Amino acid sequence: MQVAALGTGPELTDAMLREPGVKLVNFWSSWCAPCRAEHPVLKALSAEGVTILGVNYKDKPEAAKKWLVELGDPYLMNVTDTDGRLGIDFGVYGVPETFVIDKQGVIRHKHIGPIDAAALEKKILPLVRELQKS
């Protein structure tokens, strides 16, 4: 189960982002109320087959594990970013933030804040579907 990897798991690498397929990279934290509000949307996306890579940002691994057990785990994998260095590389300045990554590993869209139904239907899903075709 991915939850066990938090705190001791793999790092998110450029090679992972270049692996085949469109993916989302979602920065989240257990202490983040907007992340909690967004979580059902991520679970629905994951259930539809959208690949989501989680980055647990400036959080305690124990709290993150508990949160995922309680709310469910929509992520293909989760990595920890305890000190925020990966967030700096992505240009994150708060959570949640989600990036749409194309098949070549290029960031095609950055969504700041929680993904709600409007953002999902108007921007995220249309872009994911378009990128999956190309």
Inform me whether the pLDDT recorded for 69 exceeds 60: yes
Question: Model confidence over 4-54: pLDDT tens digits?
Answer: 345 555 678 888 888 889 999 999 999 999 999 999 999 999 999 999 999
Amino acid (one-letter) located at 104: Q
Contact 74, 39 (CB under 8 A): yes
Cα–Cα dist 76/97, whole Å: 17
Write out the two tokens for 93.
């300045």
DSSP assignment letter at 79: E
Q: What are the helix and strand counts (H, E) for the chain?
A: 6, 5
Question: Model confidence over 76-119: pLDDT tens digits?
Answer: 999 999 999 999 999 999 999 999 999 999 999 999 999 999 99
3-state SS assignment for residue 1: coil
DSSP-assigned letters across all residues of 55-121: EEES--HHHHHHHHHHH----SEEEEETTSHHHHHHT--SS-EEEEE-TTS-EEEEEES---HHHII
Question: Model confidence over 81-90: pLDDT tens digits?
Answer: 999 999 999 9
pTM: 0.91
Contact 65, 40 (CB under 8 A): no
